[in-house]
Amino acid sequence: MSVEQPRYKLNEEVDFAIVGSGSAGGILAKELSTAGFSVVVFEQGPYRKSHEFTDDELGVLFYGELQGGGSRNNGQTFRADEGEVATVSPRQPADYAQTVGGSSVHFTGNFWRFREIDFVERSALGEISGTNFADWPITYDELEPYYAKVDWEIGISGEPGPNDAPRSKPFPLPPIPCSGSGVLMEKGAKKLGLTAQVEPHAILSKPFNGRMPCMHCGYCMWYGCKHGAKSSTLVSMIPLAEASGNCEIRAESAVFRVETNSAGRATGVRYFDPDGNERMQKAKAVILSANGAETPRLLFMSANERHPDGLANSSGFVGRNLMFNAHAAVNGVYEHPLNDYKGVQVSRIIHDFYESDPKRGFYGGGGLDARSLFSATPIFFAFAGMPPEGPRWGKAFKDEIAHNFTRQMSIVASTTSLPLDRNNITLDPESKDRWGRPALRMTYRDHDDDLAMAKFLQDRAYELHDAAGAEKFWRLPIEPATGSAHLLGTCRMGNDPETSVVDASHRSHDISNLFICDGSSFVTSGRGQPTMTIMALAFRAAELIGKAAKANEI
Amino acid sequence: MRPDRCVFNDDESISNMYDEMGAKTDTISCRNVIASAAGAQGKNNMNESDISRRQFLGAGSSVTLAKLLGLSAPALTAIVETAHASQQRGTFAALSTEDAADLAAVASRILPSDDTPGAEEAGVIYFMDAALSREMAGQKAMIVEGIAGLNQSIEGETRFADLAEDAQDAMLAGIEQLPFFNFVWTMTMFGMFSIPSYGGNKNYVGWKLLNFEGLQAAWQHPFGYYDRAINGEDSA
């Protein structure tokens, strides 16, 4: 792009300061800047381009190359219950990328739409005692045009499944060809009377909008795509925002406060620049798209005398109702090599258990996918891919990893999570991140129904391996989650200011020029792949926010 | 200050290595799956109390991978340079020749050489030495003490590296739950399977062992046996 980014002055009141450049922030930046608004996007990580991404497993998986150095630098803490003292763990509870494009850079690219039921499940099923289970303030029909926009602007490959929600436009790109794990899932599904369907991907199967298609190199999950074929906002949206001439991407800039004035309006954001100096950017409106953990953290960090419990928190719902999607898996070893380390992680999924079924005796629904998982890269495989009872060193261990690596696949279950008061994001009273900001503290314990659903689907995964002819297959124990990359529900949208943080157009109930759009906006968790819905919400929010700005209603 | 490049110097038990795997898996949000996998393999069970006779191996000390895992980019570059320099000279930056021989011998029992290459052919020891000379310098004492402990329990002047393989295996079987062994195990996997620029996986022997062709940046279907029927004959 030959258009140079504008450099807005700190005291120049830009139209929008957007915090976060990921799935939501990247889209909002592109939509608002191309509509003529001046935009500054704040990203705490560096600005890496596609050619800078590496296939270095040690760097990416262990050194937190794309995650700001991981837990050590970020200081996040975790506890299962509010009575406990949260501790820093090398296992980073809120797992997200710190790089321009955010977690859309390192996610796997699995891309499920929600269905109609996801938005109205509370009405359909009734109250679930002890939870904040609720309907969304919008329906699938209202969001569908924006799902279609995601398909066609971001670049999605796939074909409709038998039980998918209706779509107004076809997929722009055909499916990525089926891998061995997909073939085996189809075989197992057929025997069991289930339906294996094509996995939709935010990865290009053909050239699209001047971008290269997938080369099947296999470095999707956790890695940035060096080919630019993964449809991150880094490659699909940010270049268009920059080309507008109205958007400045301010990387390595960590926001620590949204400023508000006595009139109850946001006036801009305070941040650390790349040299660690405090700066303040003035803005007419602020949009938080920092993800479902960082957004509530920033609202808490922005507390002041007028907003002692954090900004936009008159409801007390900021940080609450954190949802992950529960998971379970079964590993299987097959007679012949699959070589599933090549290509995308997933090519077939089963959505026959999507809906909650009262006959199961618990709430929940979910999906199954066949994927390489552990057998995508060797260090990960050596650590976690082997059967539990096997040897862990010596000749027998070496022979087993050598035999299994190309012959193994996993069937992974992803399920609903219920929104609970006890699962939340707050500020840690002790721990700090590398900028000295109070670290985020996560409190989380799965609802029993979430784990029951994970168990139910794990049993189906076990049957699928058996039916597909696996020589050896084993369950991985289901344990309560201690963190996630899916960070949902912590500033939920709703019509009632007493039980939600933002309204149906993502405007905070309390502060009229403060908007929030990311995973925190979710009311329910969906069935396991939230990114597409985050992106659809962002396109819709951008349209509504842009309209309001043009009508001087911000 | 460049906040993105700061290193957070906390101390964590080696057993948290497996938690770290869980963290990474979170990117696909299967963290609990991975944690379970690690737990199921007994790798979390590091807090055994009856370790007095093995104190010499450092079980009571806080062994940490944190510094390695929190390495900054310049530090990584330094490790790579050290590894290359050591390999070219045939000497070691952090370890004495004797200690390096013993440590290499432990790695060789974890991934032995037989009809296929093992830790020795991969040059795992060069990965370890490079790491111990820089950001893991804090762990060097534990490693040296661990090696000394092994040798103290052998009679006479014989060192661990001089023992027969069976005798080495018997000794290691007695310490496989201890941090020293787990630390070396982890380093062995890193040295065997990480990209060669870190000093190990020489000539990609680790990857060849698994039939992993991780360097090829593009593939065509079919990938393996099971997708041939739908994707045609193997063109790779």
pLDDT one-digit tens code per residue, B182-207:
999 999 999 999 999 889 999 999 99
Is B235 an 8 Å CB contact of chain A?
no
pLDDT for position B62: 27
A46 and B CB contact within 8 Å: yes
Paired with A260 in beta bridges are A266
Contacts of B33 in chain A (CB under 8 A): 327-329, 412, 476
Portion 305-324 of A in contact with B at CB < 8 A: 324
A274 chain-B contacts, CB cut-off 8 A: 2
In whole angstroms, what is the distance from residue A27 CA to residue A24 CA? 5
Averaged pLDDT for residues A76-102: 93
Contacts of B227 in chain A (CB under 8 A): 177-180, 182-183, 338
Q: pTM score, two decimals? A: 0.90
Q: H or E segment at A534?
A: helix A531-550
A183, two tokens: 């073939």
Rounded alpha-carbon distances, angstroms, from residue A224 to A57, A235, A466, B124: 12, 11, 34, 27
Give tens-digit pLDDT for A202-240: 999 999 999 999 999 999 999 999 999 999 999 999 999
pLDDT surpasses 90 at A415: yes
| pLDDT digit string, tens, across residues A421-463 | 999 999 999 999 999 999 999 999 999 999 999 999 999 999 9
Q: Where are the beta strands (DSSP E) in A39-166?
A: 39-42, 77-79, 87-88
Q: Which helix (H) or strand (E) holds A141?
A: helix A140-150
Question: For residue A163, is pLDDT > 90?
Answer: no
pLDDT band at B138; cut points 50, 70, 90: confident
Give B233's pLDDT tier (boundaries 50, 70, 90).
low
A86-96 pLDDT per residue, tens? 999 777 899 99
Residue B78 is predicted with a pLDDT of 62
Mutate to test the interface with A, among B6, B21, B33 (most CBs of A within 10 A): B33
Residues from chain B that touch A216, judged by Cβ atoms under 8 A, are 218-221, 223
The pair of structure tokens assigned to B125 is: 């020891």
B26 touches chain A (CB under 8 A): yes
What are the residues facing B224 on neighbouring strands? none
> Which among A90, A216, A483 has the least Cβ separation from residue B16?
A90
Q: Which of A250, A324, A377, A393 to mutate to test the interface with B (most CBs of B within 10 A)?
A: A393
Answer whether B31 sits within 8 Å of A338, measured CB to CB.
no
pLDDT higher for A232 or A390?
A: A232
The residues near B145 (Cβ < 8 Å, ≥ 6 apart) are B56, B57, B58
Q: What is the pLDDT of residue B136?
A: 73
> What is the band of B218 on the pLDDT scale with cuts at 50, 70, 90?
very high
Burial of B78 (0-12, 13-18, 19+ CB in 10 A): middle
Q: What is the pLDDT of residue B131?
A: 87
Q: What is the pLDDT of residue A4?
A: 80
Taking CA–CA distances from B30, the nearest residue in chain A reads A327
Q: Token pair 């820093």 is at which residue? A: A88
Give the C-alpha separation, B13 to B66, whole Å: 8
Q: Chain-wide mean pLDDT for chain B?
A: 72
DSSP string over A409-450? EEEEEEE-----TTSEEEEEEEEE-TTSPEEEEEE----HHH
Confidence of residue B16 (pLDDT cuts 50, 70, 90): very low
Confidence at residue A427, expressed as pLDDT on a 0 to 100 scale: 98
**Integer Cα distance of A152 and B135 in angstroms:** 47
Strands A87-88 and A77-79: antiparallel
ipTM: 0.94
pLDDT at B231: 87
- Inter-chain residue contact B8 with A73, CB threshold 8 Å: yes
Greater pLDDT, A511 or A3: A511
Please tell me the distance from the alpha carbon of residue A508 to that of residue A505, in angstroms, as a whole number: 9
Distance CA B210, CA B111 (A): 13
- The beta strand positions in A310-357, using DSSP E, are 327-333, 346-350
Cβ–Cβ below 8 Å for B3 and A254: yes
Q: What pLDDT does residue B135 have?
A: 64
Give the 3-state secondary structure of residue A303.
coil
CA-CA distance, B137 to B145, in Å (whole number)?
Answer: 13
Q: What is the pLDDT of residue B91?
A: 80
The 3-state DSSP class for residue A21 equals coil
Q: pLDDT over 70 for what percent of chain A?
A: 99
Task: Report the SS3 class of residue A42.
Answer: strand
- What are the beta bridge partners of residue A350? A196, A368
Chain A contacts in chain B segment 123-182 (CB below 8 A): 169, 172, 176
Q: Is A327 on the interface with B (CB under 8 A)?
A: yes
All residues at 6 or more sequence positions from A190 whose CB lies less than 8 Å from its CB, including other chains: A196
Q: Please check whether residue B37 touches A, CB under 8 A.
A: yes
> What pLDDT does residue A62 have?
82
Which tokens sit at A240?
């268009």
Measured from the Cβ of residue B44, the count of other Cβ atoms closer than 10 Å reads 16
Contact A485 B219 (CB under 8 A): no
As beta bridge partners, residue A79 has A443
- Structure-block tokens of residue A187: 């075989």
Q: How many CA within 13 A on the CB side of residue B201?
A: 27
State the Cα–Cα distance between residues A459 and A451, nearest whole angstrom: 12
Residue of A nearest to B38 (CA): A384
- Token readout for B136 is 């893991």
Position A390: which residue type?
Answer: G
Q: Which two tokens stand for residue A82?
A: 């509010």
Residue B226 and residue A177: Cβ atoms within 8 Å?
no
Q: What is the DSSP letter of B27?
A: G
Q: For residue B5, list chain A residues with Cβ-Cβ distance below 8 A.
A: 69
